[in-house]
Amino acid sequence: MYGERVTSVDRQAEQAPPAATDGQPPVGPAAWPHPPYPYPAPQPDRFSRFVLRVHDRSPRWALPLAALGCVGMGMAYALLSDPTRSDPDAAPSCLLKLTTGLDCPGCGGTRALWYVLHGDLPAAARHHFLFVFALPFLAYLFVSWAGNRAFGWRLPELRLSSRVLAGFLVAWLVFSVARNLPWAPFTALYV
């Protein structure tokens, strides 16, 4: 696997590259440097070899289970800490809010998660609307990935174009700026 010479088009590395025709420079894969390469193939270090060995030997369901455990720990933290019952004068746990007094882009997300876990979607949307909006999409992406990885399920793929992702990030940025503006109606977004 390591140290073998292969190319991106699965042909033998020892073959000569196609010659340029009519005096034109080669285009596509022929334009890339061909063997012998001017540098040796990198060898993995001990830690990388260990991680690759563990990955090769682990069952298919191990990675989805580990991801589910991380999500479960986040939910348990939200349930146990009960962020809705904090004192009004308590120091914020967000470094940006502590140093600048501004709400960060994720501010209110833990409270929104707490309300979602308790089934109160209007209160969750009040604390972080975009989190509540994105939650079903994130849940479907996780279930389709984990189901495919662990059980071989073939759920319909949710295709998000780069424009949709860019639009969501722009909306998140506008939401983050608007919730820090000190004028009405933007003061209603303050958490």
Model confidence over 107-128: pLDDT tens digits?
888 889 999 999 999 999 888 8
Model confidence over 59-94: pLDDT tens digits?
988 889 999 999 999 899 888 888 877 766 666 677
Distance CA 41, CA 53 (A): 20
Averaged over 166-177, what is the pLDDT?
Answer: 90
Q: What are phi and psi of 134, to 5 degrees?
A: -80, -20
Model confidence over 135-156: pLDDT tens digits?
999 999 999 999 998 888 898 8
pLDDT at 136: 93
Average per-residue pLDDT in the chain? Answer: 80
What does pTM read for this prediction? Answer: 0.65
Task: Report whether pLDDT(19) > 90.
Answer: no
Q: Residues 6 or more apart from 159 whose CB is under 8 A from it?
A: none
pLDDT at 30: 54
Give the burial string for 96-106 (b: 16+ CB within 10 Å, else e). eeeeeeebbbe
